[in-house]
Amino acid sequence: MKKNEGYAWVIFLCMCAVSLVGFGLVINTVGLFYEPVGKAFGVGRGSVALMSTMQNIAAAITLLFAGKVMTKINLKWVLAGCFAIIGLSLASLSFARSITHFYIAWILIGICQPFAIALPIPVILGNWFKKKLGTVMGIALGISAFGGTIFNPIISSIITANGWRAGWLAEGLIVLIVLVPMSLFLLKGKPDSKHAAYGQGEVEENAEVEETGITLKEATKTPMFYLIAFSMIALQFIAGFVQHISGHIVNSGLSLTTGASVVSGVMMGAAVGKILIGYLLDKFNNSFVVGLYTVFGILGWSGLIVLKSPMMLVSSGFILGLGQGLLLVTLPYFIRREFGSKDYSNILSIISMLGSVSSAAAVSLDGVMFDIQHSYTMPLTLNVILYILAGIAVVMSIRYTHKLLVSKV
């Protein structure tokens, strides 16, 4: 009996929901709470932002083993349990009585983040799509930026009208109401006896080759592994500056409203860029696509250094947002394509761990560089340089893979 491939699209919608709420709400709105929470507990912005650093460090440590664990247990229960912990942790902040409570809650969220948010989208979509993987991965990950655009004004309004405690409670309830039931009743980590992966019948031979793949140990003996790992470290370091964009705009003499508009521009650009790059990777020369997105990143970050007009800064934010597709879509896509699916979640987990450490370091180092110079010019210039190097590394990885494939023919 022929298996039904249609359920793959239900899984796709589930991963869109994870991206929309997981990234768009949980990760992208935390900056809204820095100022009111700091005032409430009489601590500086740095002390409040430390919860994000702790979250990233906890996520990085968890990523050391998350990929291997995900191959051995039922993903439905993993995601449901992790989303329950994340939702309850967020809701608990509505009655926090000390800043330590925030650190504990965000460490718990950081531990759950790889299992529930960071890894499932590329891993589960990779299991369910043998065709159009780049396209569906780009759309699913692109939804995260739309989530940020949707939820930032909603949570901001709740905080303004009812206080920051109501904001945390709202976030927790959204996670508990949307993502926990979805994980329990709709999610399937892999195709089963009734449901096949999309495109399985048409690419059976290629799918069989992909399933063999190589192990993490074997991957670490290839130049592609280190080129992609470097790219992840560089691009995650760059992404760490997003939390400082509003501060940079205000420091340049413009209003906080302008800063928020620039951040919204980044999120909209990221949404378009991530959705579009998936389609482009499936249709066009991958080196050209990577080169194009590298140019977006270089132009966007350079614009934040030299431009002063609010409208031009928002445009620059949109362009650098476009370049984010290079990080969130291209790297997971190439990791699967170059190393296969045999040990994909483990390889992605280790490389993502390196990126998480880099991002955690960037948030603090960008602040230190500002304290030294009273300007963000140094970290922004570093971002431009790192974007150039990351783009070169990804293109070199593509070329190495092509040479290996040609040599085997």
pLDDT tens column, 77-132: 999 999 999 999 999 999 999 999 999 999 999 999 999 988 888 889 988 888 88
Whole-number pLDDT of residue 203: 53
Average pLDDT across the chain, whole number: 85
Q: What are the boundaries of each domain within the chain?
A: 1-211, 213-409
**Tens digit of each residue's pLDDT (9 = 90 or more) over 290-341:** 899 999 999 999 999 999 899 999 999 999 998 887 777 778 888 887 888 7
- For the domain made up of 1-211, give the CATH fold: Growth Hormone; Chain: A; (1.20.1250)
Are 1-211 and 213-409 in the same CATH fold? yes
Whole-number pLDDT of residue 3: 67
**Tens digit of each residue's pLDDT (9 = 90 or more) over 258-291:** 777 888 888 888 888 887 887 788 788 888 888 9
H helix or E strand, kind and range, residue 133: helix 133-162
**Is it the case that residue 179 has pLDDT exceeding 90?**
yes
**Tens digit of each residue's pLDDT (9 = 90 or more) over 346-372:** 888 888 888 888 887 887 788 778 778
Q: How far apart are CA 298 and CA 326, in angstroms?
A: 12
Q: Which one is predicted more confidently, 319 or 243?
A: 319
Number of other residues whose CB lies within 10 A of the CB of residue 368: 11
- For the domain made up of 213-409, give the CATH fold: Growth Hormone; Chain: A; (1.20.1250)
Three-class secondary structure of residue 198 per DSSP:
strand
Q: How far apart are CA 42 and CA 36, in angstroms?
A: 10
| Least confidently predicted of 4-8, 169-173, 184-188 | 4-8
Phi-psi region of 255 (alpha: psi -120 to 50; beta: other; left: phi over 0): beta
What is the separation, in whole angstroms, between the first and last Cα of the chain?
35
Q: How far apart are CA 17 and CA 202, in angstroms?
A: 28
Q: How far apart are CA 234 and CA 389, in angstroms?
A: 8
Whole-number pLDDT of residue 38: 84
pTM: predicted TM-score of the whole model, two decimal places = 0.76
**Is it the case that residue 207 has pLDDT exceeding 70?**
no
